[in-house]
Amino acid sequence: MRLRNEESTDILRGTTLEIYRFMLKIGKPVGVREVQRALNLSSPSIAVYHLSKLEDACLVRREGSNYAINKILLENSIRISGFLIPKYLFYSILAVAFLIVELTILRPPNLTRDYFFFTIATAMLAYIFCYETAKIWIKGAL
């Protein structure tokens, strides 16, 4: 049974998501026992169950006795040498840098209404991006 793309992203929750993220970080085929030990699962059958869910969604494929990533879904994250980093982190850093520049370098001698408006808008933008980054990191969503 093969699932559509929308359905394959819906199964990425809980332990299934943890296994998928573990496999993305490792970057090589993994066995059932390796998944069980890495995620402290109570039995290999639980790892097999979640790996078969990922296989049904075409996200992993079986290579002999191991499983390998077949399709990478990184809607909210970027993979950089084994690390999954939320996309919003880069936007957050950029927005905070703009805010610092506005508050230090671009500060006019006479504070105007326009300066306050743009500074508040940049601060709100930075807050929104930082909030989204934290939400993705805490939630662990891809």
Q: Which domain range does residue 16 map to? A: 5-69
Same domain, 81 and 65: no
Say what the pLDDT of residue 74 is: 62
Displacement of CA 69 from its chain's centroid (Å): 16
Total count of domains within the chain? 2
Q: Are 88 and 76 in contact (CB under 8 A)?
A: yes
Say what the pLDDT of residue 5 is: 47
pTM of the model: 0.56
User: What is d(CA 23, CA 28) in angstroms, rounded to the nearest whole number?
Assistant: 7
Say what the pLDDT of residue 92 is: 95
Same domain, 51 and 97: no
Say what the pLDDT of residue 75 is: 63
Q: Which of 139, 108, 103, 106 is nearest to 120 (CA)?
A: 103
Q: Which of 101, 108, 83, 96 is nearest to 26 (CA)?
A: 83
Say what the pLDDT of residue 1 is: 46
Same domain, 48 and 87: no
For the chain, which ranges sit under pLDDT 50? 1-6
Same domain, 92 and 129: yes
Q: Are 30 and 37 in contact (CB under 8 A)?
A: no
Q: Are 87 and 78 in contact (CB under 8 A)?
A: yes
